[in-house]
Amino acid sequence: MTTSKVTLRRLRELADAGTPLVMVTAYDFVSGRVAERAGADLVLVGDSGAQVVLGYPDTTSITLDEMLTLAKAVRRAVRTPFLVCDLPFGSTELSDEQAIATSVRFVHEAGTDAVKIEGATPARLSRLRAIVEAGIPVMGHVGLTPQTATALGGLRAQGRTADDAVRVARHALAVQDAGAFAIVIEAVPAAVVAEIRRALRVPVIGIGAGDAEGQVLVQHDLLGITEGRSPVFVKRYAAVGEAMVAGVEAFASDVRARTFPGREHVYPAADEVAAAVRSFIDAR
């Protein structure tokens, strides 16, 4: 488990030594503290926060200001892991200058160590290169890229035909060549990712991608907080959502039965204190 501040160099050393990298998402102080206390190597303030904590229907709905608010809360909690923030939809599309300005805001306002950008179109690669040249480390993201899910035919696995698998491989190599220090590959068959990794020098952090240098999951998915069906690549390690509902139900039941608050939950006062208030009230 990591105990001193994780740096880019440390990530490289871990990957070179064959030590799997652990990345988990966080969106607020509480989930940031959980990631810190659990010893994650990297924490991602993902734009999945749009759905997971803000209740939007998709990741494209979250604004830059909303992402910055989440990132600042996570930063207050995260001391040891390497902190990466997603560049949200609409915050980089106009120009390389816009992408640099957005990334600088994440560094200045949220103290982020790196940013993550989805995709590998010529424009995306140009943004990636520009941000790296501005001195901010960038994590790439290929395969299923939720910000452009509509163009990819929905939230579905990528690289399942020969042509599409080669397209994902091209994207990963292009993102590496543009200067990414690591690449998230999402929802791509394990055998395809294994071939792509043979050609990559930078670590792959997989999500639905089989074996890789690291793995990432959405914290609320792995803890069993999110409701409904999860993608096939999610493993639930706890049933925290059920525990939360059960806790609030028990509170509601105690309140309705007047068994809460109990004697141990109230402030004591000497008899004369209550008597003084009684006299005051009665005299009105």
Quick one: tokens of 213? 């240098």
For residue 230, the minimal CB distance to ligand KIV (Å) is: 12
Residue 84 in contact with ligand KIV, rule: CB under 6 A: no
Of 24, 77, 193, 218, the residue at the interface with ligand KIV (CB under 6 A) is 218
Task: Give how many residues touch ligand KIV by CB under 6 A.
Answer: 11
Nearer to ligand KIV among residue 3 and residue 222 (C-beta): 222
CB of residue 25 vs ligand KIV: minimum separation in angstroms?
5
Q: Does 41 bind ligand KIV (CB under 6 A)?
A: no
User: Hey, what long-range contacts does 151-159 have (CB within 8 A, 24 or more apart)?
Assistant: 155/231, 156/187, 157/187, 157/188, 157/189, 157/208, 158/186, 158/187, 158/188, 159/188, 159/189, 159/192
Which of 40, 43, 46, 223 binds ligand KIV (CB under 6 A)? It is: 46
By CB under 6 A, residue 71 contacts ligand KIV: no
CA distance readout (Å), 98 to 103, 128, 260: 9, 12, 54
Q: Which stretch binds ligand KIV (CB under 6 A): 7-15, 39-47, 119-127, 158-166?
A: 39-47
Q: DSSP string spanning 121-182?
A: SHHHHHHHHHHHHTT--EEEEEES-GGGTTTTTSS-----SHHHHHHHHHHHHHHHHTT-SE
Contact code string over 111-130 relative to ligand KIV, x by CB under 6 A = --------------------
- In single-letter form, the type of residue at position 157 comes to A
Structural contact between residues 154 and 143, judged by C-beta atoms closer than 8 angstroms: no
For the annotated catalytic residues, the residue numbers are 186
Task: Using CB atoms within 10 Å of the CB of residue 261, give its burial: 0 to 12 exposed, 13 to 18 middle, 19+ buried.
Answer: exposed
Query: Quick one: 6 or 53, whose CB is closer to ligand KIV?
Result: 53
Question: Which CB atom, from 78 or from 218, has the smaller least distance to ligand KIV?
Answer: 218
Partner residues linked to 25 by β-bridges: 44
86 binds ligand KIV (CB under 6 A): yes
In this complex, which beta carbon is closest to ligand KIV, that of residue 86 or of residue 113? Answer: 86
Residue 100 touching ligand KIV (CB under 6 A): no
Considering beta carbons, is residue 206 or 282 the nearer one to ligand KIV? 206
- Pick the piece of the chain touching ligand KIV (CB under 6 A) from 45-53, 73-81, 119-127, 271-279: 45-53
> What is the rounded distance in angstroms from the CA atom of residue 192 to the CA atom of residue 189?
5
Among 40, 216, 222, 223, binds ligand KIV (CB under 6 A): 216
Nearer to ligand KIV, 163 or 227 (CB): 227
Residues 6+ apart with CB under 8 A from 208: 143, 144, 157, 186, 187, 188, 231, 232, 233
The span of 46-54, 106-114, 169-177, 257-265 binding ligand KIV (CB under 6 A) equals 46-54
Does 48 help bind ligand KIV (rule: CB under 6 A)? Answer: yes
Q: List b or e across 183-218, with b for residues whose CB sees 16 or more CB atoms inside 10 angstroms.
A: bbbbbbbeebbeebbeebebbbbbbbbbebbbbbbb
Residues that bind ligand KIV (CB under 6 A): 25, 44, 46-48, 86, 141, 184, 207, 216, 218
